[in-house]
Each structure stands twice: as structure tokens, then as C-alpha cells.
Amino acid sequence: MDKLIIEGGRRLEGEVAISGAKNAVLPILAATLLTSGRNEIRGVPRVRDVFTMIRLLRNLGARLESFEGDTIVIDSSGVNNPEAPYELVSTMRASCLVLGPLLARLGQAKVSLPGGCAIGARPMDLHIKGLQAMGARIELIQGYIHGTAEKGLNGNRIYFDTVTVTGTANLMMAAALSVGETILENAAREPEIVFLADVLGRAGANIQGQGTDVIIIQGAAALKPIQCRIFPDRIEAGTYMIAAAITGGDVEIIDCIPQHLEPLIHKLQEAGIQVEVGDSRLRVKGGNRFKSTDIKTQPHPGFPTDLQAQMMALMTLAEGQSIIVENVFENRFMHAAELVRMGAKIILDGHTAIVKGVGQLCGAPLMATDLRASASLVLAALAAKGESVISRVYHIDRGYEAMEEKLVRLGAKIRRVK
Ligand code: EPZ
């Protein structure tokens, strides 16, 4: 198990380039199951979850022609196996994204239920309900979702009780290769969903309304192979913005999409941190003190739950008290206990965390529990006095490409030990 050793208290300065969006590339990789040919995806981040998804697709019969630099070429003409096994799905919830495409492509699917993870139960009831509405017969047998749709899938009107990002993606992909019209209501509006819809549109599906809460898909009999370039990761970009703020640094975030980061930009400015917005870059200049601000996570375009942990780390050093409400997941405060061990003052009450700013954090041995909690511990360690040792950093490797290299280039004292 790798560990990260961080000597805190150094201002970050310089520029950092943002890699492709993990949560955009995972559904796009799943969407290659809908096509039968040579798909080319550029701008792919070399993160653990991408390699897991590639392994899953090869298990299903796709052939990885190459993954050189940031470009994947994958031939999906040989897809013939409907089973996504527990040992793969249990390591990455996003594996559930193959469910809709397999039902649409093969007329059957046997996908392990992902099981819970650190941040919550992660149910799939809305994915299943939507696919049943499209004519799939679905049974839950020994922890697996067994789906069949011999006569293919048919369009229908589907309402999501809760906004679900991968649920919207799964149903959109299934509807793209089905008969008739599907209307998704209370659909997710994340940029990753808009991107998936646009890419499926270029592959021959007729999709309207992406980015709003009603998406209309006219199914196609076949889709052309996927060609696309993944856009920069808004959560990675936000993480480095907060790194600049928490270390009182001056960092230029290049190759990013500022409009994907509106909620964070406003919150940092409310806290008195300088954020200059360019076309495809942002500059964040942290002062030596900043004010507390309140956070409520919501589906896009609200404040992203994937930046909540990182924002909490920042608020532990703010002047005043910050109220953070986590509205998306039921258990996404694991990082709080670790931050308290560094000297933070945090009181948890259900979905609410009350953070009272302190003057300083102290380095400590820390345990990462999930991807974004790990990022928040790195941020706190960068600002803390003394040394921190963060274990279980495989969580970080799932979603951040070359994090310690990027941080070292910004002046951080961070190294990985096996
Ligand atoms: C996606 O997860 C992201 N993952 C998550 O990012 C992100 O935190 C989340 O959306 C919310 O933005 C990917 O895109 C691969 P949801 P997803 O379905 O789709 C409930 C990261 O750090 N729900 O939008 O799994 C669910 O329990 C990861 O990169 C149901 O009740 O999240 C949750 O409370 C973490 N029934 C809420 O909806 C369902 O059938 C939102 O979950 C599905 C979801």
C-alpha cells in the first residue's frame, strides 16, 4: 500500500494543467459497447478507474487496440459477453454504466450490484426501474442484476425520483439504441451528461434537452463508432483551486473550463479569496487569512458534492464558522474525523457539519477512505504545520492523474513511498 508523505506549510505557486474528466470518460467508455467498430477517445486521464473500465470492457469482448498517451482506441465489434463480474464491479461503482449498453446491444446483461462504498449505499433502483419501463425483464439474483430484453428495448417516459448522474447516463445510452422515443424527466444536468449526449448524437442518436432536466432521445437501429476528446476534469481543477487557497499560494489553473466551476468560484470569492477567470484558465491567489462561507451540495448546477470534502478542509482554517450540508450522499463526512485529528474543530450532526476555523492544523498520520476524502486530506496536509503521512492512497490514484508530480511542480514537498 503506497503512502504519501507531505511536509506542509509551503505556498503553492506556478501553473497546473488539468487532465481529462474521469466522470466524463467512464460513461463514454461504456458507450463503446453500443457501437460495433473502432472507437477513438482522446484526452483520457491515466487514472485507475479508466484502467478498471478498460479491463471490464475487454472482459465483455471488446479489444483494446492501444492506449498511448491520452488516446484510447478500442474495437467493440467483438462484444459478446453480458457479464460484469463482482470482483470488477465491487472496486468501481461506475461499472454499473455497462448495464444499459449491454441490454441494448446484446439483449441481456448480468451485472453485479456494486454494493455499498464508503460514501453510501449507492443503490441502483432508479437504473433498474427505468430499464424495466423500456421493456427489460430484471431480476436480482445472488447480488447480480440479471436483465433480458430479447425483443430489444422500447422508448418510454421515465421519471427519476432522485437526480442520478449514472442513472441518467445508463438510460440515455440504452435509449440511444432502442425503438422509439424516450423521455427522461428529472434528469441529471451535469456537464458529463451533456457531453455524453453530444457524443451519442454524433454517433447517430437523436438527443435533445441535455443540460436541462428533460432529455428526449429518439432511438437508432445502430450507432457509429465513437470519436471524441474528453474535456478537462472540473473536480480536479476545483481541487487545485482549493490547494492554492489553503496554502495562501498563487496558482494558474490552465486547460480548464471555468463555467463548470461557477459554484466554487463564487464560494471562494465569498470567502475573500481572489479568483481571476480567463477563457480556459483560472488564477487563484490565497491570502494569509480568509473568511468562512456556508456550503450546501446539490446536483449540478448546485455546489458539487465531489468538492465538499475539499471545501471542508479549506474551511477548517477560515475565520469564523462554516455550515456544510451534504444533500447528495448519506455518509460523506468521513474526512471530518481525520481533519479533527489534525486539530480542526468540526461538529457533525447528520447531513450537517459545523466547522469552526482554527489558526493552524498540525500534520498527522492519516487514513484515506474514498477518492475525494483523500484529496481533502492532501489539501489539509499541504497547509498543516509539520509532516503528514497519508495511507491508502490508491483512492487518490482512482481519480487524480499524477497528483504528486503536479503538486511538486507547484512547490509542494510531497513524496510517495511504497
Ligand atoms: C456520480 O455518481 C459520480 N460518479 C460521483 O462521483 C458523484 O459524486 C455523483 O454522481 C453525484 O454527483 C460518476 O459519475 C462515475 P448518483 P452516481 O446516482 O451516479 C441516489 C467521484 O468522486 N440514487 O447521482 O453513482 C444515490 O444514493 C464520484 O468521482 C438512488 O437512490 O451518483 C445518491 O444519494 C463519487 N437510486 C444520489 O442518488 C439510484 O438508482 C445521487 O447519486 C441511483 C442513485
Total domains in the chain come to 2
Which pLDDT does position 121 carry in this prediction? Answer: 77
Question: For residues 94 and 84, is the Cβ–Cβ distance under 8 A?
Answer: no
158 CB near ligand 1 (under 6 Å): no
Which pLDDT does position 413 carry in this prediction? Answer: 98
Q: Which residue puts its alpha carbon closest to atom 4 of ligand 1?
A: 23
Which pLDDT does position 98 carry in this prediction? Answer: 98
Q: Are residues 221 and 293 in the same domain?
A: no
C-alpha cell at 126: 432508479
Atom in ligand 1 nearest the alpha carbon of residue 328: 34
Q: Are residues 259 and 349 in the same domain?
A: yes
Q: Are residues 238 and 147 in the same domain?
A: no
Atom in ligand 1 nearest the alpha carbon of residue 372: 22
Q: Are residues 9 and 89 in the same domain?
A: no
The answer to whether 256 is a known catalytic residue is: no
Kindly give the distance from the C-alpha atom of residue 93 to the centroid of ligand 1, in angstroms, as a whole number.
Answer: 9
In this structure, what DSSP letter does residue 50 have? H
332 CB near ligand 1 (under 6 Å): no
Q: Are residues 188 and 265 in the same domain?
A: no
Atom in ligand 1 nearest the alpha carbon of residue 124: 40
Atom in ligand 1 nearest the alpha carbon of residue 26: 15
Give the separation between CA 333 and CA 325, rounded to whole angstroms.
10
94 CB near ligand 1 (under 6 Å): yes
Q: What's the gap between Cα 185 and its chain centre?
A: 22
In this structure, what DSSP letter does residue 159 have? E
Q: Are residues 58 and 116 in the same domain?
A: yes
Atom in ligand 1 nearest the alpha carbon of residue 166: 19
Kindly give the distance from the C-alpha atom of residue 358 to the centroid of ligand 1, in angstroms, as a whole number.
Answer: 32
Atom in ligand 1 nearest the alpha carbon of residue 300: 12
Which pLDDT does position 274 carry in this prediction? Answer: 98
Kindly give the distance from the C-alpha atom of residue 384 to the centroid of ligand 1, in angstroms, as a whole number.
Answer: 31
Kindly give the distance from the C-alpha atom of residue 373 to the centroid of ligand 1, in angstroms, as a whole number.
Answer: 15
Question: For residues 215 and 184, is the Cβ–Cβ distance under 8 A?
Answer: yes
372 CB near ligand 1 (under 6 Å): yes
Kindly give the distance from the C-alpha atom of residue 322 to the centroid of ligand 1, in angstroms, as a whole number.
Answer: 25
Which pLDDT does position 283 carry in this prediction? Answer: 98
29 CB near ligand 1 (under 6 Å): no
Q: Are residues 95 and 159 in the same domain?
A: yes
DSSP line for 318-376: SBSEEEEE--S-SS--HHHHHHHHTT-EEEEETTEEEEE--S--B--EEE--SHHHHHH
For 139-152, the pLDDT digits (tens) are 999 999 999 999 99
Which pLDDT does position 27 carry in this prediction? Answer: 98
Q: Which residue range(s) make up the domain with 303?
A: 3-19+232-417
Q: Which of 342, 348, 344 has its CA nearest to residue 356?
A: 344
Which pLDDT does position 356 carry in this prediction? Answer: 98
CATH of the domain at 253: 3.65.10.10
Last residue of a domain, one of 229, 258, 287: 229
Last residue of a domain, one of 229, 262, 292: 229
Q: Are residues 217 and 256 in the same domain?
A: no
Q: Are residues 12 and 132 in the same domain?
A: no
Which pLDDT does position 302 carry in this prediction? Answer: 98
Question: Which residue reads 451528461 in cell numbers?
Answer: 193
Kindly give the distance from the C-alpha atom of residue 165 to the centroid of ligand 1, in angstroms, as a whole number.
Answer: 6
Last residue of a domain, one of 180, 198, 229: 229
| Cβ neighbours of residue 315 closer than 8 Å, sequence gap 6 or more | 292, 293, 295, 322, 324, 355, 357
Which pLDDT does position 287 carry in this prediction? Answer: 81
96, 117, 228, 256: which one is catalytic?
117
Q: Are residues 254 and 156 in the same domain?
A: no
Q: Which residue puts its alpha carbon closest to atom 27 of ligand 1?
A: 122
Which residues in the chain land under pLDDT 50? Answer: none
Q: How far is CA 228 from CA 29, 35, 70, 138, 180, in A?
A: 11, 14, 12, 32, 26
Kindly give the distance from the C-alpha atom of residue 289 to the centroid of ligand 1, in angstroms, as a whole number.
Answer: 34
In this structure, what DSSP letter does residue 143 have? T
Look at phi and psi of residue 284 and say left if phi exceeds 0, alpha if psi is from -120 to 50, else beta.
beta
Q: Which of 22, 23, 189 for mutating ligand 1's site (highest number of atoms within 8 Å of CB)?
A: 23
Q: Are residues 292 and 380 in the same domain?
A: yes
Phi and psi, residue 315, nearest 5°: -70, -20
Q: Are residues 194 and 219 in the same domain?
A: yes
Cis peptide, bond prior to residue 301, ω within 30 of zero: yes
Q: Which residue puts its alpha carbon closest to atom 26 of ligand 1?
A: 122
Q: Which is it for strands 83-84 and 108-112: parallel, antiparallel or unpaired?
A: parallel
Neighbouring C-beta atoms of residue 320, cutoff 10 Å: 13
Which pLDDT does position 233 carry in this prediction? Answer: 98
Q: Which residue puts its alpha carbon closest to atom 41 of ligand 1?
A: 164
Question: For residues 340 and 364, is the Cβ–Cβ distance under 8 A?
Answer: no
- Tell if the pTM clears 0.85, that is, is over it: yes
